[in-house]
Structure 1
Amino acid sequence: MTVHGKMEIDFEIKAPADKFHDVFSCRPHHIPNISADKIQGVEMHDGDWGKAGSIISWNYTHDGEAKVAKELIEAIDDEKNLTTFRVLEGDLMKLYKNFVFSVQATSKEGGGSIVHLTIEYEKLSEEVTEPYSMLQFGVHLSKDIDLHLMEQAQA
């Protein structure tokens, strides 16, 4: 009878860790231009881009449906290339009491990076499924960002 959970995944990208981290930490409002099929808009509600404590909202498409999430940028650690988002309002809160998404990039010897995605959550009830599809969404979004950064580097 677990309502609390944590999911993690690691995968490789070609982009440098700091460049990848910069997109999530300082420039999430650019993501709709990078991955328009997944993210349609990112708006600032309170605070400043690149600052922990800021509140942003995401308009996104997940499982073929338009959705929204209002999130607190809970932490930005530039040394560890880590950004943590806590969902405050939106579609995910219909299923989860708490939902925290972290993305970290670590430089890989010889170039490229390892991305570590973490989702920590508390379901509203046992009937709610684990957020596997949200973890995959994060992987696919990260791959889109990687492709964009690599295309920029070649331009």
Structure 2
Amino acid sequence: MALQGKMETSLELKSSAEKFYNVWRSQSFHVPKHASKHIQGVDVHAGDWETAGSIRIWKYTVGGKPGVFKEKVHFDDENKTVTLNGLEGDVMKIYKVYKPVWQITPKGSGCLAKLSIEYEKLYPDVPVPDIYVDLMVNMTKDIDEALTQT
């Protein structure tokens, strides 16, 4: 059984690529408002909201359980890609590597969001991060819905 892997899915969104990417690029403090069922808070631990390498701490709910995730963010503006490199938190108790990625591509008046999680399990019996992919999908849908209402 492989200890490392990558899970991927794609979603078509109604919001523009620029608008959706901008939420992650410089306005991630809005994510708890847009996706409050899943994200209860986010704070900057080091850096700021817009600088690559900044460290943020997220409070979330997955599978009905609260969790905390500390990450270092990386932006690729040319490819509209946001990568959250896991540093600490609940998910890091079972994964050595945990790296959620949002890649946003324009498509018509909306965009295509390619979501992935690169991971490496700490132990063979750790499940693949299905519930975290579901969390990303649900957050993405909620953010898109909020952006299309504004």
Shorter chain as denominator, the TM-score bin is: over 0.9
The match for 2:56 is 56
Aligned mates of 1:127, 1:146 — CA distance in 2: 35
Q: Secondary structure at the match of 2:126?
A: coil
Q: Secondary structure at the match of 1:135?
A: helix
> What is the CA RMSD across the aligned residues, in angstroms?
0.8
Superposed CA deviations along residues 20-63 of structure 1, whole A, max 9, x for unmatched, are 01111211111111111111100001011111110000001110
Aligned mates of 1:144, 1:13 — CA distance in 2: 10
Q: Secondary structure at the match of 1:68?
A: strand
Aligned mates of 1:22, 1:38 — CA distance in 2: 20
Structure 1: gaps of 5 or more residues: none
- TM-score of the superposition, structure 2-length normalised? 0.97
Superposed CA deviations along residues 78-107 of structure 1, whole A, max 9, x for unmatched, are 221111001100000111011011101100
Aligned mates of 1:122, 1:104 — CA distance in 2: 20
Letter paired with 1:36: S
The match for 2:14 is 14
The match for 2:148 is 150
Q: Secondary structure at the match of 1:52?
A: coil
TM superposition outliers: structure 1 runs of 4+ over 4 Å: none
Superposed CA deviations along residues 112-148 of structure 1, whole A, max 9, x for unmatched, are 1100011000001110000011111101100000000
- TM-score of the superposition, structure 1-length normalised? 0.94
User: What aligned pairs does 1:28-47 form with structure 2 within 5 A after superposition?
Assistant: 28-47=28-47
Segment drifting more, 58-67 vs 28-37: 28-37
Count of paired positions: 150
The match for 1:121 is 119
Aligned mates of 1:3, 1:140 — CA distance in 2: 26
Aligned mates of 2:25, 2:132 — CA distance in 1: 19
Letter paired with 2:83: T
User: What aligned pairs does 1:132-147 form with structure 2 within 5 A after superposition?
Assistant: 132-147=130-145
Letter paired with 1:26: S
Percent of aligned pairs with the same residue? 43
